[in-house]
Amino acid sequence: MSGIYGIASLNKVEPSCYSNLIKWNDSYGNLPSVSHTGNTLFMGIKPESFKNSVSNSEAYISKSDKQIGVADCLIYSAVKENLSDEQFLFNEIKTNGIDIIADINGDFAGAIWNESERELLLFRDHLGVRPLYYYKDDNKVIFSSDIRGITSLADVDTSIDENWIYYNTVNIFRPSPTDTEYKLIKCVPPGGYISFSFVGEHINSLTGHYWIPGCKKYKFKNRKAYSKELRKLVEDAVKIRATVSAFPIGAELSGGLDSGVIALLLANMKKDCFYYSWSPSPDILDYAEGDERLIIKDICDKANIKCNYGGLSVSFLDHNQIKERYPLIYDQEADNMAFPYKYAFPSFVNTTEIYETAATMQEHNIRLVFCGHSGDEGISHRSNPFELVYNHEFYRYLRLMFSRSHGKKHRFINTLNLIKQNLAIAHSSLLKPIPRNEAGYSILNKDFIKQLNPKEQHFLFAYDPKTYIRSGGIRNRFDVVSFYSAAVGIRYLFPFADYRLIDFALGIPRYLYHSRYLNRFVFREAFKDLMPKSLYNLREKENTSYRNLPQEAIGEKKPDMTDERFVNARREILNHLNKSYWERFLDYSALESWILGKYSPQDDESIMRAISKCFQVENVVKRSREVNTAFPTQL
């Protein structure tokens, strides 16, 4: 991905004061940086080239009249007049206004400065596949593809968001399309934009959306027609991404429905593709019962393709791309830090397997990687039957439950019992607030909790995907994948995040996702002819292959939580935190009890994870500022 960055200010901008912003974004892309400097404006881009027609860095910064723009983008729609994707996007917005990008298919994030209006416009693609962070204070606005480009600046207020502190500590996922761990650093909204007007001595902001998911309704005559339209949309979403560039492509293959269908479609297109599963190879670990690799094998046999596998364990240390690309100082203290702290990983980064996949792809000269993320939230939605009730499809709900009692005695009574069971589950779990982790709650400062008055969170995924997506529920994987892919120099493609598929998925009747006990039904039916039976009938995908690894002895003695080694480890991680800052939020007397081993092993693990994340958020600020001044930067 390209790295874009800039500052617009009420006062004169000195680019040399913002070299860290440039350095962090210079770890992106594969072409030389190009920038523009004005009296109160500085913006630049470290471009990544994917289309053969564009190899000159100057083509990636767009200028016209008194407007200038930069963008990180890969456009799948037809691009006019052999322009670069960046110039095409700039021209469309300049000519037709920001709402025109509602109909442009692509992954993009960009910034346009209008000198005549003294206005900075930041915008982002429909689902937020490409990241774009910004910071605003009374004097300036800073934007960056990499959040560390902003945290690395000494004149940025990096106060930690209090909501993040609470939900992190009580282990509740709180989705947000715009919030970050830092109170004043935000994301540009997916499907939206934010404009900043520099008027006199003030900066005014205005946020809007050019697209909101799930605003359309689709109606066809029968299930078959819905499946046919779904397949047409998915096939096109895969095709336009597979043909957007001449570079070699790869694809994740996990043994699940989403990645399986993508692999089958790519094979059907006769595309050369490097398929990869982060599960261990069957050559080094035998198949287990219900093993996902058995389904991968069936997919490969059906499509006549080969899947490459990972190892028995995943380690950052097996790949060195990050150290080569990051502009950090590596002294003895840094070398002794754990990998995520050493390289200033933001706290949202998880799933080491994604880094292994990205690094392996890059080592095999792959530049574009297909991923099935956002499928089971959208087009292959993993729906609970209660979703029909929630959306007032009562007749279809009754028919579904009646079909589940087929062949049973006293079918009417059996149907009523099934309804009772499903509604009980809905009210006991789906509709109830997500329970907090009580151990985490116990280490929070009670005055802080009272003042914050945190809101309840709910399990929306299974019955309200529209609200789930709108509220940022699918954001984390996009952020993580963008982070890892930029760290190694590849780009991920998400065909199921195509806005047309999301609109279709949210706009069709909910009963289509069910048939008796089989969910995700309309998606299964659309690709039934391509799927091996094992994939079509798959209910839940789990990494069951690891069950064949040697297991710890049953009944093994529980660890002594008061052991001096554990006590010292807890005290060490807590001592990393700046107590004068954190004691407003954390109860240090409760934490002392934790240090001394007075919590259960399970609670100890939860608290350790929460405190480690707190340190990680603090460490990102400190470590991102430890930039190697000798690291090449183009000003």
Question: By the 8 A CB rule, do 109 and 130 touch?
Answer: yes
pLDDT in tens, 101-114: 999 999 999 999 99
Q: Both tokens of residue 443?
A: 């280490």
Question: By the 8 A CB rule, do 461 and 88 touch?
Answer: no
d(CA 305, CA 286): 21
3-state secondary structure of 7: strand
- Last-in-domain residue among 165, 186, 209: 209
Q: Is 143 among the domain residues?
A: yes
Question: By the 8 A CB rule, do 160 and 617 touch?
Answer: yes
Enumerate residues 6+ apart whose C-beta is below 8 A from 197. 117, 118, 119, 203, 204, 205, 206
DSSP designation for 458: B
18: domain CATH number is: 3.60.20.10
Q: Is 400 among the domain residues?
A: no
pLDDT in tens, 67-117: 999 999 999 999 887 788 999 999 999 999 999 999 999 999 999 999 999
Q: Do both 172 and 312 map to the same domain?
A: no
CB-based contacts of 416-423 (< 8 A; 24+ apart in sequence): 422/384, 422/385, 422/386, 423/386, 423/389
Q: Is 540 among the domain residues?
A: no
Among candidate residues 446, 530, 508, 485, the one with its CA nearest the CA of residue 355: 485
pLDDT of residue 320: 77
d(CA 531, CA 301): 11
d(CA 120, CA 501): 31
Q: Is 278 among the domain residues?
A: yes
3-state secondary structure of 233: helix
Q: Is 411 among the domain residues?
A: no
pLDDT of residue 65: 83
321 by Cβ neighbours in 10 Å (0-12 / 13-18 / 19+) ranks as middle
Task: Label residue 51 by pLDDT band (50, 70, 90).
Answer: confident
Q: Do both 45 and 120 map to the same domain?
A: yes
Task: Answer with the residue of higher pLDDT: 57 or 243.
Answer: 243
Q: Do both 194 and 247 map to the same domain?
A: no
Q: Is 416 among the domain residues?
A: no
d(CA 418, CA 257): 27
239 by Cβ neighbours in 10 Å (0-12 / 13-18 / 19+) ranks as middle
**Per-residue pLDDT averaged across 193-202, rounded?**
96
Half-sphere exposure of 99 (CA within 13 A, CB side): 2
417 by Cβ neighbours in 10 Å (0-12 / 13-18 / 19+) ranks as middle
Angle at 345 between CA 367 and CA 377, to 5 degrees: 65
Q: Is 154 among the domain residues?
A: yes
pLDDT of residue 551: 59
Q: Do both 154 and 262 map to the same domain?
A: no
Cα separation values, 461 from 164, 361, 385, 464, 472, Å? 21, 31, 12, 6, 11
- Last-in-domain residue among 174, 209, 244: 209
Task: Label residue 57 by pLDDT band (50, 70, 90).
Answer: low
Confidence check: pLDDT of 144 > 70: yes
373: domain CATH number is: 3.40.50.620
3-state secondary structure of 62: strand
Angle at 246 between CA 242 and CA 250, to 5 degrees: 50
d(CA 207, CA 586): 34
Q: Both tokens of residue 433?
A: 């607030």
Q: Do both 196 and 51 map to the same domain?
A: yes
Q: Do both 572 and 602 map to the same domain?
A: yes
Q: Do both 258 and 205 map to the same domain?
A: no
pLDDT in tens, 576-596: 999 999 999 999 999 999 999
pLDDT in tens, 536-591: 999 876 666 666 666 554 455 678 899 999 999 999 999 999 999 999 999 999 99
Maximum Cα interatomic distance, the chain, rounded to a whole number of Å: 81
pLDDT in tens, 483-502: 999 999 999 999 999 999 99
CA-based Rg of the chain, rounded to a whole angstrom? Answer: 25
pLDDT in tens, 345-404: 999 998 888 999 999 999 999 999 999 999 999 999 999 999 999 999 999 999 999 999
Q: Do both 124 and 255 map to the same domain?
A: no
Q: Do both 78 and 146 map to the same domain?
A: yes
DSSP 3-state percent helix, strand, coil across the chain (nearest 5): 40, 15, 40
Confidence check: pLDDT of 204 > 60: yes
Q: Do both 239 and 276 map to the same domain?
A: yes
**Per-residue pLDDT averaged across 446-459, rounded?**
95
Question: By the 8 A CB rule, do 477 and 373 touch?
Answer: yes
In the chain, the amino acid numbered 369 is V
pLDDT of residue 60: 85
Q: Is 35 among the domain residues?
A: yes
Enumerate residues 6+ apart whose C-beta is below 8 A from 424. none
Among candidate residues 612, 602, 498, 501, the one with its CA nearest the CA of residue 558: 602
Q: Do both 199 and 153 map to the same domain?
A: yes
pLDDT in tens, 158-188: 999 999 999 999 999 999 999 999 999 999 9
- Last-in-domain residue among 486, 510, 534: 510
Number of domains the chain is built from? 3
**Per-residue pLDDT averaged across 426-442, rounded?**
96
User: Model's pTM, two decimal places?
Assistant: 0.95
Q: Do both 276 and 158 map to the same domain?
A: no
In the chain, the amino acid numbered 290 is G
Segments forming the whole domain that contains residue 184: 3-209
- Distance between first and last Cα of the chain: 20
Task: Answer with the residue of higher pLDDT: 193 or 63.
Answer: 193
